[in-house]
Amino acid sequence: MGNNPNQTPLLFNDVYFSRWEQQIFPSPSVWAPFPRLPAELRLRIWLLPLQQHRMIEVDLHPNTTGDNDTPQYADRNHLGRIVSGRSRSYTSRLRGRGSYAPSLTPLLRVSREARAAALSFYHIHLPLGTGQVLYLSSEYDVVYVRPRRPKPIRRPPEYDPQPEFGAILVDFLHDARAYDYKDQGVRHLALDGEIRHYLLGWFEERVNLTPEMLHPAAATSFADILRHKLRSLLCLVNFRGFTRGMGAPPLGGGWRSHFAQTFPLRRRGHVTGAFHWLQADPRPGVELDLRQVPIMDDPHLMLRNWRRLEHLFGVTRNQQASRENDDDCGFCLYVCATQEWSTPDMRRMDWAGTWNVREMKAEAEAVWSRDELAQYLQYEAEDWDEKRWYPAHVFGSTVQYPKYSSDSREEAEIFEAMEKLPCTAIGMWLFPAEAFPPPTIPQLLSFNLSAVRPSLLLFQV
């Protein structure tokens, strides 16, 4: 996405970050020569641009060329820490072509002092399967782990890597901690639906990863990570539907025909995304859109299976409660809702009448522009205009639903104000999994979350 806020469409991201930058980085009226400043102050200045959240997307896949006889958890790295034995278990890389350079801060090349400050801040120096080193901060960085399916090599044609994804995730988390001189590792982990299902099952109450499936050292390491290191798990889920317009009511009632303008749109493009973690979404009208939130995955099942996983690795509910009361080791499982989107030309069906999901996913990974976003928003508006006309089947008549479902004049005025403001955001909502009430429409997994003010993970675009 371009960086010119004058381009259309104007997003809530543009307004928020332009105001934030003016407040945080005002133009100094007097400039003191930098080398004359005290060393402590110079260090604080070097660290200031680094102290922001980033989402780093990492591809993991089983290593199909490794030697199965190579011992696991036997070698030590330069820090004297035991490593998993990467050559046998998995390969890791940043997602997308040309993705490594954007993950590096320019301070690594400014001066020795700036480089030392950056290497101290990014205290995890994790080797990737590409031979490069991924620099991470356990406090600020969210590692978004996604599976990649390689073509089987030296494996039978029916080889399916699914059972191994849980094990290689454990190996990856162990190695991130082993290459951290502060011994913290990944504290904020994000999982897409596919790899999460490999861990916790698809639609049933089950856990696909058990201690017996892992090397004993891996099982011990993972239990310690769950108990003491991991602070947040971000489970990404999609809203139902291709757009934010929810049209004709399904059978069973309880449905609002509604255009949910504040539903966040998914970030696409470069692998490294800087963002702000807003504790409460400040946009007007959020509480009205939250009255109907249909999503693709059951958060109650997700939470129950995650607790089963913790229990299998020795993390009991009492231990979980103690972690929540400890600021240093507190943990929360977040359901992160966002709207997947793509340009209209990707929304075509194959010969069987099903959406060409593979091509849509490939397009969703591409670097995108403001023009593409404008094209999607135009398509979304036109699609909603069509959905609003619903046949009533009474003498061939039709009914046009309002653009927004409002119960009072005050609500209607809020929606009218939203029309004049840049309310569309690139990011995701974060709900603690415990905050979900029973669904209002179970078959659609639609929830009334108006009593909850979600956090907003807002990307710099």
Q: For residue 294, what are the CA distances in angstroms to 426, 436, 440?
A: 19, 12, 10
What is 74-107 written as a DSSP string? --B-TTS-B---HHHHEEEEESSTT-TGGGS-GG
Task: Indicate if the pLDDT at residue 409 is higher than 70.
Answer: yes
| Distance in angstroms (rounded) separating the CA atoms of residues 358 and 338 | 19
What pLDDT, on a 0 to 100 scale, did the predictor assign at position 346? 54
Residue found by looking up tokens 């991924």 in the block? 134
pLDDT classification of 256: cutoffs 50, 70, 90: confident
DSSP 8-class letter at 9: S
Higher pLDDT: 417 or 63? It is: 417
Q: Which residue has the tokens 């696409």?
A: 268
- Cβ-count burial of 337 within 10 angstroms (0-12 exposed, 13-18 middle, 19+ buried)? buried
* pLDDT of res. 377: 92
Say whether pLDDT at 125 is over 50. yes
- pLDDT greater than 90 at residue 25: no
Give per-residue pLDDT as tens, 290-312. Answer: 999 999 999 999 999 999 999 99
Instruction: Please tell me which residue, 307 or 364, carries the higher pLDDT value.
Output: 307
Bridge-based pairing of strands 188-191 and 141-147 is parallel
271-282 tens-digit pLDDT: 668 899 999 999
Mean pLDDT of 171-181: 95
Per-residue pLDDT band at 420 (split at 50, 70, 90): confident
Categorize the per-residue pLDDT at 195 as very low, low, confident or very high, splitting at 50, 70 and 90: confident
* pLDDT at residue 353 in the model: 40
Q: Is the pLDDT of residue 27 over 80?
A: no
Rounded to an integer, the average pLDDT of 404-433 is: 91
Share of the chain above pLDDT 70, in %: 78
Mean pLDDT confidence for 413-429? 91
Q: What is the pLDDT of residue 345?
A: 62
Contact call for residues 195 and 246 (beta carbons, < 8 A): no
By C-alpha distance, which of 14, 54, 373, 12 is closest to 4?
14
- pLDDT score recorded for residue 419: 86
The string of DSSP letters for 208-250 reads S--GGGS-HHHHHHHHHIIIII--EEEEEEEBSSSSSEE-SPP
Q: pLDDT value at position 343?
A: 66
pLDDT at 182: 94
Of 424, 349, 342, 404, the C-alpha closest to 379 is 342
- pLDDT of res. 352: 38
Query: Do strands 389-391 and 398-400 pair parallel, antiparallel, or not at all (unpaired)?
Result: antiparallel
